[in-house]
Chain A
Amino acid sequence: MNFLNLSFGELMALAGIISAGIIALYLLDRTKRRQVVATLRFWTAGKLPEELQHKRRIHQPWSMLLQLLSMLLLLLAIAAPRIGDLGAAHDHVLLLDTSAWMGARARQGILLDQAKTAALVYVKSLPLLDRVMLVRADALATPVTQFDSDKNAVSDAIRRSRPSTSALNLEQAFEFAQQAQRLQSQKAGEIVFVGAGRIAKQDTELPVPPNLRLISIPSNGENVGLRKLSVRRASSPSPGTPTSPDTWEAFVELRNDGSLPREITLLLQFAGTAAGSKTLTLAAGSETQATFLFHAKAAGFLEARVTSTNGRGDAFPQDDAAVIEVPVGKTLRVAVYSPEPDLLKPLLTGNAQVQATFDLPAKYDPQSSADIVVFDRFAPKDAPANVASVWIEPPAGSPFAMRSAATKTKLERWHQDTALGAGLYTKDVELASTEVFNLAPGDQAVAETAQGPVVVQRQGAVKMAALGFDPVRSTMKYDLATPLLIANLLRWMAPEVFRRSDVQAGTVGTVNVTLDKGVNPANVKVLGDDQRPLPFTIEGNRLQFFAGAAGNVRVVTGNRETVFSLTLPDVGDVTWRPPADVARGVRRSLVESSSAPNPWPWLALAGGLGLLADWLLYGRRQIVRLKPRAASPNLVERLRRRKAS
């Protein structure tokens, strides 16, 4: 006999401690009641028997024995005794395939239902003392139980398994199982894989554990599904033409996993209305792409759906549709107050995302709802405190302090390390007149002459910039640096408007993102649904992160933001073909060796019944007897009756 939960020594020690406690309690004479009474004359007058003087005798030996026996039975139930040789027991690892493909249709239910049934048969076939660790295998190998001989617990864990949305990583699962047997098991048994074994094409050559047993779940591989859906603003159709912020480009990628060519219809819907459709023919095992252009002024959901046109069934309908949310197109409102408003128009009307208004200083409105205000040679008394502002040749009263005015001075240099001066270069630009500024704390010089800074940026809660000269009225008018300077100004003051935004629907698991050239890894952020950063790696211009569950992930890289809507299930490419010498199915001998049930419930029941019997026979009577009895008839009446008789 073996005890699974306690050693024999622990069992005896616990039994000894509890028995000693019970006997001590009985020796303490729990029945004696101390009572203060009005007189002792009637107690002695009634010739009541006085107690024997054995202070340490046990008053209810049968009750004590019953309690000792009951406690011993309960301890045995806790110890979980098993009849048999524990040393002969094996520790098995059961890898249950819970990848996305296990949600594919089967004859009855889904593939995972068949896998669960097979796994339960295997667990039930094991000898009673064998222990099993259940591991759910998808992109990650997740242990659900420890090595446990309680087959009911393992079976419950098997029944609770659900298909995930990631693909199977079989190599990792095998490594985990071997490591678990190496580190935790006493005597390694089998590594049993139960599932369809749908893996990535590049993972087919994987090392196979020598003790592997395969319980294969056959599946119909005829499936056409979406692999990728992405949306981004459409690029301009021709150079020089402003890009419409309402035009979006949708990119769809599909794959035929089956062995036969399939003709499908790809339907694209935005906000419930059709945005495009295409009929495509996919060769067996091939991938194809489709691109759609559509207009969207407001945010909404874009859905791509695949339907088969030749009537063939799809084994895996979960990847037939994908939905992503198209973000709102942002615009930047700029208010310009200038004595010559037409001069700045060419600079601010070239971008469709910028909505600029041009007015004379006399029409200045402090309540304007503009995002950026440009003051050209004009300084109002009530300049807005919460709006970014650009000051061109600011007069007295502006936030920037002028040191001096310079004439016919040469623009010496641009500070490339500043946000406004990035990428700017001019040669031999002589300014007819300009203001030279004093730098306040927090100010950065963007452009300088020999007299001092003439372009200044001020970083703070509200961004401001000052230009000591008007670039349109200076010799810089035809210089490329002028529109670039304005572009830098707008991008610096409102970066969220000009950030390129892509939305992609993809599969969970490992996601690869190609970064733009020159992206500083320090500025890269990968954020989950709850805005918490996810771990990622950057190798060259390739960013890689892992998402184990469906959800949205935002990748922010400088001026570009990509939202990954990881809702598509990741399906393996091929079915794994194991070597021929791998054991398959459930061994008949194992089925026949299943043993008697665990006796601990019966022991616990017997112990409980013993305690209940003790309470009914001894404990309850004590409680009942200590209750005051009902009052007897009045003594006077009794005396009167006695006298009458």
Chain B
Amino acid sequence: MPENGPLIDTPLLEKLERLAIQWQKSLPGAVGGHNTSRFAGGGQEFLDHRQFYDGDDLRAVNWRAYLRLEKMFLKMFQLEPRIPVRVLVDISKSMLTGGLTSGSIDAAGGKGALSKFDYGRKLAAALCYVSLVRLDSIYLQPFAEKLGDPLRLGGGRHRFQPVANYLQALKPGGTTHFIDVTRDFIARYPQRGLVIVISDFLDDGGCEKPLQYLADFGHEMILIHIWADEDREPPWDGELDLEDAETGTRVQLAFDDNARAAYTTAFDDYALQLRNVALRNGGRYVGLPTSIPIEEAIFGPIVRAGAIA
């Protein structure tokens, strides 16, 4: 992808206008959002009546009922909170494999596809735009070994340019440590909210436990799992000298069709574990190979998973 090219072109942005990020949990937050909550509060939609107690706001008293029944009832309204949307983007070195991008580690296998890093940046930009249009609060948070400096935004589509600039300025590097990132995240953001994790989830220490911690602290998760085709089904044959993109560890082995089948099964099992973690905690999971175009991925698997609608 060219360094100076737009992350998302204008026709796609116009199509994203009609989408909104979806929650499954009722989360508290400042009034002003578009998601309904089971909590009563200062919204526009009528929710219920309750008995008046001293100290209640007289403006909410149903004076018609008082004239008829001579009892004071208070009108309650449905809360529409502004839930914080936190987008975590993986910028570790493993995101550079398997695609074409400037500075990519291996561009041989991509055959024209984007690297996972560029693919993730585009997805993050699209989701941020959807959130901005719906006046959500956004925290754009890169990570690798630990959380990077966040970009905090809110307020409308005209704030999208800083998001694009921020994403384009990101430099990949580092090793993924989900457990450290999760700890840091929980400590930094005590307010519960929606967490969208865009990553290849390739951490030698494992991702299931840190993601479970995140869910246990009340965050709603949307896991967007990105992989290159060669990550899932390596195209090579014969004797290979493999090097881990993040750690530099090398291993030499023989690879054939049987080994490829075993490899793919192991990868699918891992993806299934991630999906189970997400669904078990009321979240959602989307698996995306980089060979699927961005627009098709958003309006296909992501919409079908209920992450946006």
Contacts and interface: CB of A to CB of B under 8 A. Distances in A.
Nearest to B239: A32
Interface stretch (B19-27, B124-132, B190-198, B266-274): B266-274
Interface in A36-65: 36-51, 59
Contacts of A45: 263, 266
B97 A36 contact: yes
A38 B253 contact: no
Contacts of A36: 97, 105-106, 242-243, 245
Contacts of B243: 34-37
Q: Among A34, A635, A642, which residue has the most Cβ atoms of chain B within 10 A?
A: A635
Contacts of A50: 251-254
A631 interface: yes
Contacts of A38: 94-95, 97-98, 116, 200, 202, 227-228, 231, 245-246
Contacts of A49: 253-254, 259
A618 to B, nearest CB: 11
Interface string B110-145: 010000100000000000000000000000000000
Interface residues of A, number: 37
A45 B242 CA distance: 14
A44 B238 CA distance: 16
Nearest to A52: B254
Contacts of B97: 36-38
Nearest to A53: B252
Contact of B236 (A44, A625, A635): A625
Given A32-B252, A631-B291, A626 B245 contact: no
A516 interface: no
B14 interface: no
B249 interface: yes
Given A37-B234, A37-B245, A42-B267, A628 B254 contact: no
Given A34-B241, A40-B249, A46-B262, A51 B254 contact: yes
Contacts of A41: 202, 204, 266, 270
Contacts of B292: 634
A46 B259 contact: yes
A55 to B, nearest CB: 10
Interface string B222-235: 00000111111111
Contacts of A627: 235
A636 to B, nearest CB: 5
A33 B235 CA distance: 12
Contacts of A634: 287, 289, 292, 301
Contacts of A33: 236, 238-241
A342 interface: no
A64 to B, nearest CB: 16
Contacts of A44: 251
Contact of B255 (A40, A48, A632, A636): A48
A48 B263 contact: yes
Contacts of A635: 227, 232, 268, 271, 287, 289
Given A37-B245, A39-B202, A42-B266, A626 B239 contact: no
Given A632-B232, A634-B289, A625 B272 contact: no
Given A39-B246, A635-B289, A32 B266 contact: no
B98 A632 contact: no
A369 interface: no
A184 interface: no
Interface in A529-544: none
Contact of A37 (B238, B242, B259): B242
17 contacts: A31-B238, A33-B236, A33-B238, A33-B241, A36-B245, A37-B231, A37-B242, A38-B116, A38-B246, A41-B266, A46-B265, A48-B259, A625-B237, A632-B229, A634-B289, A639-B268, A639-B275
Interface of B: 94-95, 97-98, 105-106, 109, 111, 116, 200, 202, 204, 227-246, 249, 251-255, 259, 262-268, 270-272, 275, 286-287, 289, 291-292, 301
- 10 closest A-B pairs by beta carbon, nearest first, are A46-B262, A625-B237, A38-B94, A39-B202, A628-B235, A45-B266, A46-B263, A34-B241, A38-B97, A51-B252
Interface of A: 29, 31-51, 59, 622, 625-629, 631-632, 634-636, 638-639, 642
